[in-house]
A and B are shown apart, each in its own frame.
Chain A
Amino acid sequence: MANQSLPRRSLLAGLTLAPLLGACSSSDPFASNPAATGSGTSGAGGPVTVGSANFPESEIIGELYAQALEAKGRTVQRRMQIGAREVYLSALAEGSIDLIAEYTGNLLGYYDKSATPTGADEVAEALAAALPAEFALLDIAQAEDKDSYNVTAEFSTKHGITSLADLAGYPGTLRIGGNPELAQRDYGPGLVGLTRVYGVPAERMAFTPISDGGGPLTIRALAKGDVDLANIFSTTPAIKEQGFVTLEDPKHLITPQNVVPLVAKAKLDDDLASAINAVQRVLTTDDLLAMNGRNAGDEKAQPRQIAADWLKSKGLV
């Protein structure tokens, strides 16, 4: 029977390690007890629970908020990598978390499916109107992470294309790569939008669906010249690394997605707002690019470390 203990032990080790590896989170997801946070009752001025969605950038921004608050002497609990929007918004509503980084356009789309505002200010206005009463927004950052159309530097100089408005003048068939929904939706930054807003004829676009969300396969397809135009999220480090040219969007085809802190109103106080808004004031898209690059690149730096370094460099801690 002695020989049975070994596989069992390694199995147990695997089970204990699995959630840690899977979550890639610097905080222990089981550390804070949802019942104990009780944020709804403790009110303003007390400990704050910062949450994040299940992707690295959200956790990095969450760490920025958490450490900015800690620098002001607040007690902060972390519940990072919670899940998709549906999940963390209900966590915010029930008081399991008090604060989370959001994106203006997507959050608006969640609350108002039929929303059609285009400019950043319009989105901010519409979002403020659509938001449930128990939530509040803090200052909107300049930083944003949204869909972006990219071409290679070579393609850009050869055809003089630096803006989506230049695409209609491209003589050949545009080969486009990106998530399959770009060809499916008749709203948003898809092919229909390129035709409607920028007048690119539908018959001169050839679309290849690549399902990795602007990930390595999409980047590779653009870099190798398999497609002329690729839809990649604007804070993907590869855009800089590969020297891609992100096309301007003068007619606001792509909904603005600025970073905005979403707070439970019951927890909001002036100290909290000023600490978070100090971060919001200086956070830029380039900062997000650089921080994502440290996380996704060879360095594989942890969100907590990345956030600490950034706050220090901006003199916020």
Chain B
Amino acid sequence: MIAALAQWFGDASRWAGADGIPQRLVEHLAYSALALAIAALIAVPLGLWIGHTGKGERIVVLLSSGLRSLPTLGLLTFLVIVLDVSLGQVLIPVTVVLTILAVPPLLAGCYSGLQAVPREVVQAAVAGGHSTTQVVTAVELPNALPMMIAGLRSAALQVLATTSVAAYVGLGGLGRYLFDALGVQDYTKMLAGALLICALALLTDGLLALLQRLLTPAGVRLERARNH
């Protein structure tokens, strides 16, 4: 199996062309990034508002956990039929289902990040004459950033792993290897595809973890070090 896998990756033709690994990797990243960007546009403002005002948290928790439980592949087939899209437009339902997957963790990261900022810190900022905008941008946001990135990590991991479904409706991405191999029971190719998706997800997670560390404010880091 390992020898077959090595041979699969060693084959020069795997590294070029429309069905080559670089092309599939780029497609996979593009679908994932598109969904994550749209999810961030929805989740970040909403999460900041909820975190800052403390309003609507219950509804959001309920909604986002509900959305999480939707089966992606079933929803995708459903949307393709309901939205009446043609083959050239299937990226739309694919992006919708991936966005639905990415919004809950991003949202949770945002509002819980803001809520975790100690009330005394916020109150001190208000007492010191900060406006609401200043409180959000200069106090709450920097302190919440590590948790927001944690939300992004979780969302990115889930989206990168699930973008494989794009291949189900005829698009590309690394899922192509899984679905093409499934049809002909080519388990080497399937394993290779799964490993590539794992590697991509882990690599992305590692990079975001690094970012999370860099964005943790010095004060928060100091306090954590003291507590340890």
Given A184-B184, A210-B169, A211-B179; 19 other pairs, CB 8 A cutoff: A177-B170, A184-B180, A184-B183, A184-B186, A208-B170, A209-B167, A209-B179, A210-B170, A211-B169, A216-B77, A216-B80, A217-B77, A217-B80, A217-B170, A220-B80, A221-B87, A221-B170, A224-B87, A227-B87
Whole-angstrom distance between the alpha carbons of A210 and B76 in the complex?
13
| A226 interface contact, C-beta 8 A | yes
Q: How far is the CB of A144 from chain B (nearest CB, A)?
A: 21
Which residues of chain B are within 8 angstroms of A40 by Cβ–Cβ distance? none
Which residues of chain B are within 8 angstroms of A181 by Cβ–Cβ distance? 180, 183-184
Given contacts A211-B167, A217-B169, contact A180 B183 (CB under 8 A): yes
Identify which of B77, B167, B183 contacts A179 (C-beta below 8 A): B183
Q: How far is the CB of A316 from chain B (nearest CB, A)?
A: 37
Identify which of B80, B170, B176, B184 contacts A185 (C-beta below 8 A): B184
Given contacts A221-B87, A224-B86, contact A209 B180 (CB under 8 A): yes
Whole-angstrom distance between the alpha carbons of A269 and B113 in the complex?
74
* Contact residues of B between 154 and 173, Cβ < 8 Å to A: 167-170
Q: Residues 126-167 of chain A: 1 if any B CB is under 8 Å from the residue's CB, otherwise 0?
A: 000000000000000000000000000000000000000000
| B70 interface contact, C-beta 8 A | no
Q: How far is the CB of B188 from chain A (nearest CB, A)?
A: 13
Which residues of chain A are within 8 angstroms of B182 by Cβ–Cβ distance? 180, 211
Whole-angstrom distance between the alpha carbons of A180 and B170 in the complex?
9
| B10 interface contact, C-beta 8 A | no
* Contact residues of B between 17 and 42, Cβ < 8 Å to A: none
Whole-angstrom distance between the alpha carbons of A185 and B181 in the complex?
11
Whole-angstrom distance between the alpha carbons of A208 and B167 in the complex?
10
Q: Is the CB of A220 within 8 A of B183?
A: no
Which residues of chain A are within 8 angstroms of B77 by Cβ–Cβ distance? 212, 216-217
Whole-angstrom distance between the alpha carbons of A208 and B169 in the complex?
9
Which residues of chain A are within 8 angstroms of B183 by Cβ–Cβ distance? 179-181, 184, 211
Q: How far is the CB of A230 from chain B (nearest CB, A)?
A: 11
Q: How far is the CB of A293 from chain B (nearest CB, A)?
A: 18
Whole-angstrom distance between the alpha carbons of A181 and B176 in the complex?
11
Selected A-B contacts with CB under 8 Å, 29 pairs: A177-B87, A177-B170, A180-B183, A181-B180, A181-B183, A183-B180, A184-B184, A184-B186, A185-B184, A208-B87, A208-B170, A209-B170, A209-B176, A209-B179, A210-B168, A210-B169, A211-B169, A211-B179, A216-B81, A217-B77, A217-B80, A217-B81, A217-B170, A220-B80, A224-B86, A225-B86, A226-B86, A226-B88, A227-B87
Which residues of chain B are within 8 angstroms of A217 by Cβ–Cβ distance? 77, 80-81, 169-170
* Contact residues of B between 171 and 220, Cβ < 8 Å to A: 176, 179-180, 182-184, 186
Instruction: Tell me how many residues of B have a C-beta within 8 Å of chain A.
Output: 17
Whole-angstrom distance between the alpha carbons of A261 and B111 in the complex?
62
Which residues of chain B are within 8 angstroms of A226 by Cβ–Cβ distance? 86-88
| Interface residue tally on A, bucketed by range | 20 to 34
Q: How far is the CB of A233 from chain B (nearest CB, A)?
A: 14
Q: How far is the CB of A112 from chain B (nearest CB, A)?
A: 17
Identify which of A185, A212, A221 contacts B168 (C-beta below 8 A): A212
Which residues of chain A are within 8 angstroms of B184 by Cβ–Cβ distance? 181, 184-185
Q: Residues 73-112 of chain B: 1 if any A CB is under 8 Å from the residue's CB, otherwise 0?
A: 0000100110000111000000000000000000000000
> Most chain-B Cβ atoms within 10 A of its Cβ — which of A179, A210, A216?
A210
Whole-angstrom distance between the alpha carbons of A216 and B82 in the complex?
11
Q: How far is the CB of B91 from chain A (nearest CB, A)?
A: 13
Q: Residues 173-192 of chain A: 1 if any B CB is under 8 Å from the residue's CB, otherwise 0?
A: 00001011101110000000
Q: Is the CB of B87 within 8 A of A180?
A: no
Q: How far is the CB of B84 from chain A (nearest CB, A)?
A: 8
Whole-angstrom distance between the alpha carbons of A184 and B167 in the complex?
15
Whole-angstrom distance between the alpha carbons of A190 and B64 in the complex?
43
Residue of B nearest to A209 (CB): B170
Residue of A nearest to B185 (CB): A181
Whole-angstrom distance between the alpha carbons of A209 and B88 in the complex?
13
Which residues of chain B are within 8 angstroms of A209 by Cβ–Cβ distance? 167, 170, 176, 179-180
Residue of B nearest to A175 (CB): B87
Which residues of chain A are within 8 angstroms of B180 by Cβ–Cβ distance? 180-181, 183-184, 209
Q: How far is the CB of A209 from chain B (nearest CB, A)?
A: 6
Which residues of chain B are within 8 angstroms of A211 by Cβ–Cβ distance? 167-169, 179, 182-183
Which residues of chain B are within 8 angstroms of A225 by Cβ–Cβ distance? 86
Which residues of chain A are within 8 angstroms of B167 by Cβ–Cβ distance? 209, 211
Q: Residues 127-161 of chain B: 1 if any A CB is under 8 Å from the residue's CB, otherwise 0?
A: 00000000000000000000000000000000000
Q: Residues 255-292 of chain A: 1 if any B CB is under 8 Å from the residue's CB, otherwise 0?
A: 00000000000000000000000000000000000000
Whole-angstrom distance between the alpha carbons of A70 and B167 in the complex?
46
Whole-angstrom distance between the alpha carbons of A69 and B86 in the complex?
47
* Contact residues of A between 194 and 235, Cβ < 8 Å to B: 208-212, 216-217, 220-221, 224-227
Whole-angstrom distance between the alpha carbons of A224 and B86 in the complex?
7
